[in-house]
Amino acid sequence: MAESQMLEVAVKAADSKRAEDIVALDLEGISFIADEYLIMQAPTERQVLAIADEIADQMEKAEFELTRQEGRREGQWVLLDYGDLIVHIFKNDVRHFYNLEKLWGDAPEIDIADWIDEESF
């Protein structure tokens, strides 16, 4: 239950800052690193950092502990590690280069449609 709540908070925070192409993958039983990956992109470094800040703020308010953070200085790819959930926020071209969805191709996608406001686009 906590994983689902954690994912919901992160998705809603990312969506509120207009993250693009948000995908959640269920890695339980596939990876020892985390149970869920949340992957998204933004067109500029500034927006990547704004999304990362909003996710971190909302997760802290919901009392989910950030255990590790990478990439803030460059703003090309920010990783937020919440233990069972790892959030990847990419600049568009960097996401296409690394293509994590293909790397974790065996992982089923988690339906997050109810947490995304389609009206904002």
Strand ranges in the chain using DSSP code E only, listed in sequence order: 20-26, 36-42, 68-70, 77-81, 85-91, 109-110
Residue 98: predicted pLDDT: 84
- pTM over 0.75? The answer is yes
Quick one: which of 10, 52, 18 has its CA closest to 34?
10
The superfamily in CATH containing domain 5-110 is: Beta Polymerase, domain 2 (3.30.460.10)
More confident residue, 2 or 106: 106
Name the residue ranges covered by the structural domains of the chain: 5-110
Q: In this structure, what are the phi and psi dihedrals at residue 34, rounded to the nearest 5 degrees?
A: -160, 165
pLDDT digits (tens, 9 = 90+) for 20-49: 999 999 988 888 788 999 999 999 999 999
pLDDT digits (tens, 9 = 90+) for 9-21: 999 999 999 999 9
Quick one: which of 103, 92, 89, 108 has its CA closest to 36?
108
pLDDT digits (tens, 9 = 90+) for 77-95: 999 999 999 999 999 999 9
